[in-house]
A and B are shown apart, each in its own frame.
Chain A
Amino acid sequence: MATKSLVKIKPKTYKVGDVVEVSLMVMHPMETGLRKDKESGKLIPAHYINDVKFSFNGTPFTTIKSWESLSTNPVYTISYKVSEAGEIKVAFTDTKGEANENGTKITPKA
């Protein structure tokens, strides 16, 4: 079961040397482990994204460790300075060990 995710770049057009916003949005429950199931009354075990890695052409440039305090369907937005055409890849793992990867292409306008 792949987790739905999206990698977005803002603004849409940029040149080499511009700083753009790269955001990762994930459809994820981000369970805290403190919430109770309404029917059975048992605690729902914690299940959240704990590791996010941004890399450009294979070179990692940002790593994020996150905890259960992030909202459901979290968003991670960082900035990135465009150096050349290539591909940004984002790999993220949750506490159940499910690894996912998503990416987007960087195509600077001359």
Chain B
Amino acid sequence: MQRRSFLKGIMMTGAAAAVVSPSLAFSAEAPKGPNAMDLDTAIKAITGGKSVSASDKVQLKAPEIAENGAVVPVSVTVDSPMSAEDHVKAIHIFATKNSNVRCADVMLTPANGTASFSTRVKLGSSQDVMALVVTSKGEFLSAAQNVKVTIGGCG
């Protein structure tokens, strides 16, 4: 009888450990930094709840497969005349699954000539990279591309 209950106990703790450990491992993998912000909050802070439309005018270039997530080149070009009446006011770049989705907020003026911005971002895992463009007419345009990451960059 004693031996049976002892074995039962071991099995129970084993099962409990198996249930707990994946969640522990997950929380260790995805810590939240002080700047953590999700995509919806970040977009709302910019648009104020207005709708965002996907547009061909916004061209986002990023590799489809990134071997190293620590350095992923991203470039955004917007088809815009960049005149005083009609220009791109801002380009925002988001990494949709990073703990802080915001990468860069670029404020442009007509003096730029063309609306373009390129940089290198860190991606924690495979995810969409998104560009949100604000024009002087008050439009919100977006473009997104999925990037597959084989080695994460936020480790």
Contact = CB atoms under 8 A, between A and B. Distances in A.
Interface of A: 19, 21, 30, 32-35, 46, 56, 59, 61-72, 74-81, 83
A83 B111 CA distance: 9
Interface residues of B, number: 37
Given A66-B104, A78-B116, A32 B122 contact: yes
B115 to A, nearest CB: 8
A80 B103 contact: no
B95 A61 contact: no
Majority DSSP secondary structure for residues of A touching B: strand
Interface string B61-84: 000000000111001000000100
Given A19-B113, A34-B31, A72-B70, A67 B108 contact: no
B72 A71 contact: yes
B109 interface: yes
Given A35-B155, A77-B118, A78-B117, A67 B35 contact: yes
Contacts of A83: 111
A70 B99 contact: no
B119 interface: yes
B43 interface: no
Contact of B104 (A19, A64, A80, A81): A64
A96 B21 CA distance: 37
A76 B119 CA distance: 5
B113 A70 contact: no
Most buried by B among A35, A46, A78: A78
B90 to A, nearest CB: 10
Contact of A46 (B33, B104, B116, B120): B33
Given A61-B109, A62-B106, A74 B114 contact: no
B11 interface: no
Interface in B98-147: 98-109, 111-122
Contacts of A63: 106-107
Nearest to B30: A34
